[in-house]
Structure 1
């Protein structure tokens, strides 16, 4: 039997997991929600939910992957094999794998936008528009059907080349460079913004606590959604990265570091974006692509040294997006390898062709595409992985897997909290997403 690939070092694995978690949600959604839901009033429940989901879901998916040394299909199959239902388990395992592929395809479209804007910061094209309406028009043209074919394909090819090198030589090496550089660049931006007139108003805005916002159920609901999706629990990416881990790794400690650095990335983005908006008196009331591709470029154009700021910002955003894209494509690539016994490069080729064709076709509807996935497929995948590991595999198996690599036994509270709180939370996220039209 061919030896399974693995990460070469502890920090290589942790940085890869941080890379999978740090993405557009940290940059274009977190800042907006901090702004809309009372600053510190949003941060309080957000930190609580990050701690809970990091402790339960992230630790669980990593442990499940390492225990089975496989992706979701074989992991779910193993769980159900104990009940004589392996085929049913494998079929259910396809849900998070196909969800990861579909999410990767949608993300490819977004990465095409980011790459075009990043290159444009060097040529001057990104900040060339004369007004916010012109920025909106340029983005609308790019985000339309077949509006950005070239850069989208380039972004996908870059990801596939990295993935073709494998886990240790590709995913790990790239994350070891891109993640530290991302954090350094955002710290540089944060320091720059701190010295701009009016930035203090932005900090007050971030850390204000409004009792009425804290008492509003929507603040807690969207804090839950932000934490859940930011930590990438979906039964696929975190599970597959866990499958490349050695038995010597202390998974709960690793999950804690991932949760910490993912939160740090979101806070750094907020400490750049919100004070930057405050320096011009602008109110941050829009999130999503519009913030990144319309309002921030318009703001940067008017800032001292705006051209350099735009370069630093979009390079950092591209790095964050690329590490997430790599993670999203990894589960389907690994599944093709496992099920069809293909080499790494061939599996990347198969998934890459699917990615190119479908991503080109969905350019005009990518927003709706991603909404369906975040509302239905991601929480469903996370919930299924939770049911398989915590309900079907059972307490003894779970505790033994979580304790591997630790010098002392992990808390006895872990299993009941996961079984009776985390798994129902996955169901709750699914229901709330359907009712509210998405909370991620």
Structure 2
């Protein structure tokens, strides 16, 4: 097996880990959920839960990764008490990474496709219904979908083939820097639109009466769920990057840097979308169609709309690609750790495997569109449900128990690893919270997800 690489720089670690956390959940799901639940009041709860729920679990993933020096599939072997079976979870974590990519690569492909559609002027002169038709035509075309999905997979794995420092770290740093720059350009354009002030007021001025209309419980749960899912916790996707860093810095400060960057991107996405929606009289809470149908329509109405539309979808593609690269690095590390393969062999085998595994999702919108499970939906919905409603919350629960229970790695070992190095320390006083209260909150999130899916619908 090849020698294990480490990150070249701390900024590379932060950018790569943030790239994993920053994905379409930030720039696609966050704005429309904020729109549904009343703007700024929802954002306040989201930020609170990000620190209370997301940060401790992220620190635990990093600690398990750094202490073991292995990917999720082997880290539990290294740290579990003799005779225990924690290592079985490693295989569920690996399955979570594969399952996530089985549908995420398709959605990332849509973003890449829209860069070219926007640049070519496909949307110019079309009304909202016709733009919706462009999206539906793309979904109905298996060849087009397969092409873009395959392109995303090949680009992602070719970057990973360059290794951690020269491939993943370098590409993630360039992509994240470009993403932040593009975002700021788009924010300036959106907030200077005529009528943008109403969108900014909706986004920045808390209106708790709107929360009361939706029901406080539902809004708080939605904020809790978004803060939890946005970081892709629970499947070891971040643990791998912990295994690539040294002991110079304590892990709490590093996790907070990543969460801050993740939150900044989500908030900036709102500064692009809400002013644009209010400037053109569009409902910002209308769901995923906002990105593929409403926004191209808004760009049509702008001066230099083709340019702004193209830049927006470049930005969306970068957000998607940063996650793809990070998860592919995980998948490659699984193969190298478990089978002793070289990086090249792990890349070749997994390109073929991910291409094959991603086909059902792309065909689920056309050739296999008849395959629908009641209350779950099409193939993409089913794959998303398995990951988002099961593997992420239950995986996070297992990380929590492993790091706090005497039957696992244990709280003392976790604290020692998390607090090694300079910087912000994880407070020992939080032991009761992370070992008793937080696992119950995660269980409630998991259970309510099922209630909403199968009973309350």
| TM-score normalised over the length of structure 2 | 0.91
- Whether the aligned pair in 2 keeps the contact of 1:73 and 1:89 (CA below 8 Å) is no
Q: Deviations over 1:72-129 (max 9, x none)?
A: 222222343x1412xx32222111111111101211111111111112222223x246
Displacement of 1:249:
2.6
1: CA distance, partners of 2:2 / 2:386: 37
- The separation in 2 between residues aligned to 1:145 and 1:249, in whole angstroms, is 49
Q: How does 1:22-41 map to 2 (within 5 A)?
A: 22-41=22-41
Q: 1:178 aligns with which of 175, 179, 183?
A: 175
Q: Is the 8 A contact 1:66 1:244 kept in 2?
A: yes
Is structure 2 residue 384 aligned with structure 1 residue 370? yes
| 1:302 aligned residue | 301
Most deviating of 386-395 and 95-104? 386-395
* Other-structure match for 1:380: 394
For the residues of structure 2 that align with 1:407 and 1:264, how far apart are their CA atoms? 22
Cα deviations across residues 208-242 of structure 1 (Å, max 9, x unaligned)? 32334166111110101111111221231111111
Is residue 226 of structure 2 the alignment partner of residue 210 of structure 1?
no
Q: Give the 3-state SS of the residue equivalent to 2:249 in structure 1.
A: coil
Residue matched to 1:91: 88
**Aligned-residue offset at 1:11:** 0.6
RMSD of aligned C-alpha atoms?
A: 1.9
Asked if structure 2 preserves the Cα contact closer than 8 Å seen for 1:109 and 1:366, the reply is no
* Cα distance between partner residues in 2 of 1:430 and 1:306: 42
Per-residue CA distance 1:390-437 (angstroms, 9 max, x = gap) = 221112101110111126754212433322233333222211211112
User: Aligned partners of 1:267 and 1:423: how far apart in 2?
Assistant: 28
Please state how far the C-alpha of 1:343 moved relative to its aligned partner.
0.7
* Cα separation, partners in 2 of 1:129 and 1:407, compared to 1, 3 Å: closer
Matched residues in 2 for 1:59 and 1:410: separation? 9
Flag the 1:409–1:99 CA change in 2: closer, same or farther, 3 A: closer
The 5 A counterparts of 1:423-438 are: 423-437=439-453
Task: Give 1:15's aligned residue.
Answer: 15
Pair 1:129–1:360, CA change in 2 (3 A): farther
Shift of 1:167: 1.3
2:371 corresponds to which residue? Answer: none
Of 201-210 and 100-109, deviating more is: 201-210
Distance of aligned partners of 1:302 and 1:408 in 2 relative to their CA distance in 1, 3 Å threshold: closer
Runs of 4+ with deviation above 3 angstroms: 407-410
CA separation in 2, counterparts of 1:432 and 1:121?
39
Unmatched 5+ stretches in structure 1:
none
Cα distance in structure 2, aligned partners of 1:430 and 1:183 = 33
CA distance in 1, matches of 2:238, 2:261: 15
Does 1:293 pair with 2:276? no
Q: How does 1:225-244 map to 2 (within 5 A)?
A: 225-244=225-244
Q: Residue deviations 1:336-380, cap 9 Å, x none?
A: 111111111211111211111121222123233213321111112
Query: Retained in 2: the 8 A contact 1:113–1:148?
Result: yes
Q: Against the structure 1 CA distance between its residues 280 and 270, is the aligned structure 2 distance closer, same or farther, given a 3 Å change threshold?
A: same
Q: CA contact under 8 A between 1:39 and 1:207: conserved in structure 2?
A: yes
Paired residues of 2:73 and 2:338 also in contact (CA < 8 A): no
Alignment coverage as a number of residue pairs = 434
Task: Please give the alpha-carbon distance, in whole angstroms, between the structure 1 residues aligned to 2:238 and 2:133.
Answer: 37
Superposition deviation, residue 329 in structure 1: 2.1
**Match for residue 376 of structure 2?**
none
Q: 2:180 and 2:129 mapped to 1: Cα distance? A: 31
8 Å CA contact 1:145–1:361 kept in 2: the answer is no
Larger mean CA deviation between 263-272 and 425-434 belongs to 425-434
Give 2:133's aligned residue: 137
CA distance in 2 between counterparts of 1:302 and 1:427 reads 46
Greater CA deviation, 208-217 or 337-346? 208-217
Partners of 1:194 and 1:134 in 2: CA distance: 27
Which 5+ residue runs of structure 2 have no aligned equivalent? 365-378
In the TM superposition, 1:398-437 aligns within 5 A as 398-406=414-422, 410-437=426-453
- The answer on whether the counterparts of 2:74 and 2:338 sit within 8 Å (CA) in structure 1 is no
3-state SS of paired residue (1:196)? coil
Pick closer, same or farther for the CA change 1:408–1:370 going to 2, 3 Å: closer
Corresponding residue for residue 340 of structure 2: 341
Partner of 2:279: 279
Cα distance in 2, alignment partners of residues 70 and 429 from structure 1: 29
Q: Does structure 2 conserve the Cα–Cα contact (< 8 Å) formed by 1:54 and 1:256? A: no
Alpha-carbon distance change, 414 to 10 in structure 1, aligned in 2, over 3 angstroms: farther
Compute the TM-score of the two structures, normalised by the length of structure 1.
Answer: 0.94
Deviation at 1:12, TM superposition (A): 0.4
